[in-house]
A and B are shown apart, each in its own frame.
Chain A
Amino acid sequence: MRFDWSVIWDNLGRLAEGAELTVFLAMVTMALAIPGGLLLAFLRLSRFRLVRGAATAFVEFFRATPLILQIYWVYYVLPVFSDILFPPIATALIGLVCNISSFNSETFRAGILSIRQGQWNAGLALGMSRGQVMLRIVLPQAAMRVLPSLASTWVSLFKDTSLVSVIAVADLSYVALQLRAQTYRILEVLTAMAVIYWLMGYPQAKLVDWLHRRYKVVE
């Protein structure tokens, strides 16, 4: 068996571009899925049953179905309902944001509910409105508590972005799979793909462990 690793060094530029898109996708998705998750969490805590029900259905549906299928679904079904043809990268982002928002909403909901009722009562007794209590008292405290879970979601999101390759978005896995087909250096290219993901993801996983230790809730 002879391995020819030069294929990796020769195509490092392309792989780096793919990795860049992977990072970009993860960052944009998280940037949109934090407000998205907050919105869903508020809707699930709404006083109106219908709103609650709709938000719950959305969250449960996106949490119980495979992301790869969601991306496919957006790719195939969105054009049926709209005349606008989205570029694949927008399609991928829509799928990712819906999915991660649903997971984030559970995190935020748990964070908000973990703040003791007494804090609400105290805020209301001081004459604050419910919105003010939420914004000034509950959310700032909840933010610290959800940080570790949010970070864990980030790490899995980073891996999940690889699934956009199925609709030809040129992220790291798409580039690597293309390279494999073009060069036939299967073992080298696929090993490099795994190693590059590892190099990017491993420090993040370690950082998340540290966050979990640092911001552990002690009551």
Chain B
Amino acid sequence: MLTDFSWLVDRWPFLLRALWTTLYVSTLSLLLGFVIGILVGSLRSYGGRVLDLVLGFYVDSVRAIPPLALLVWTFFAFPILIGHSLGSITAGVLALGVHLGAYMAETIRAGLTSVRPGQMRAALALGMTKFAAVRTIILPQALIRMLPPLGSLFVIAVKDSAIASAIAVPELMRQSQVVAGQTYRGPIIFTTAMVVYFLINYPIARGIDRLYRRVAHLGAS
């Protein structure tokens, strides 16, 4: 029975599409998270005490609320509030992006504050604006130092996209459930899905490690 793969013959395009959706949702949520992270991270670092407190509240709240709760809230409850329905992929990207954004913000803030304050003072003394100093001097060094934690966030983004199956985003986990339901081949299908996730995530993790070892010296100052 385990060697009977006839069920796969007409279903592999379905699962392949699911894999694309997984990559699509994780990439978009990463991008959204990165935008939020850059904004929140730099505003917390340079925006003064009030902004730091307000945005810190966002970050710590996200650390306390499970992605599942964010996902179901965004998909089922948020549309009631705005009076406009959201597609499952939109809601998924939104919720996962807001979740990732908080972790991105912490990573970016840690990176920014790791660059010695003397560099900022030097830039300001040279007549640069604070914004220009962050953009051209602090951020490039910080980004390199942030590579390892950013790499873990890439992996987390792919893993968390599986939770979006709870709001019926047609990604790999969800569609595996669908195929398992149709074919009664749960064990082999979920095992395959596990292996596929591993084959996506492991190279990301190791690749970022390797990349970091190659460029680490650029972030040292």
Contacts and interface: CB of A to CB of B under 8 A. Distances in A.
A163 B68 contact: yes
Contacts of A72: 173, 177, 190
B28 interface: no
Given A173-B69, A190-B73, A66 B159 contact: yes
B191 A155 contact: no
Interface in B180-221: 180, 186-187, 190-191, 193-194, 197-198, 201-202, 205
Nearest to A202: B64
A76 B61 contact: no
Secondary structure class of chain B's binding surface, majority of residues: helix
Contacts of B143: none
A73 B196 CA distance: 13
Interface stretch (A11-19, A126-134, A135-143, A191-199): A191-199
Centre residue among B69, B159, B162 by max chain A CB count within 10 A: B69
A64 B65 contact: no
A60 B81 CA distance: 42
A72 B178 CA distance: 13
A173 B165 CA distance: 15
Given A77-B191, A202-B60, A206-B60, A159 B198 contact: no
Contact of A66 (B64, B65, B72, B162): B162
B173 A68 contact: yes
A119 B145 CA distance: 30
Interface in A169-191: 173, 177, 180, 186-187, 190-191
B163 interface: yes
A65 interface: yes
B194 A205 contact: no
Contacts of B205: 64
Interface string B91-123: 000000000000000000000000000000000
B190 A69 contact: yes
Contacts of A65: 159, 194, 197-198, 201
Interface string A36-79: 00000000000000000000000011011111111011001100
A204 B173 CA distance: 30
A191 B77 contact: yes
Given A66-B163, A166-B166, A187-B77, A194 B190 contact: no
Nearest to A162: B66
A186 B64 contact: no
- Number of chain A interface residues as a range: 35 or more
B63 interface: yes
Nearest to B198: A64
29 contacts: A1-B81, A63-B155, A66-B158, A66-B159, A66-B173, A66-B197, A68-B173, A69-B193, A76-B190, A77-B187, A80-B187, A159-B67, A163-B163, A173-B72, A177-B72, A180-B76, A187-B80, A187-B81, A190-B69, A190-B72, A190-B76, A193-B69, A197-B69, A202-B60, A202-B63, A205-B60, A205-B63, A205-B64, A206-B60
Interface of A: 1, 60-61, 63-70, 72-73, 76-77, 80, 155, 159-163, 165-166, 173, 177, 180, 186-187, 190-191, 193-194, 197-198, 200-202, 204-206
Nearest 8 A/B pairs, CB to CB = A201-B64, A66-B162, A64-B201, A159-B66, A76-B186, A162-B66, A66-B159, A190-B77
Interface of B: 60-61, 63-70, 72-73, 76-77, 80-81, 83, 155, 158-163, 165-166, 173, 176-177, 180, 186-187, 190-191, 193-194, 197-198, 201-202, 205
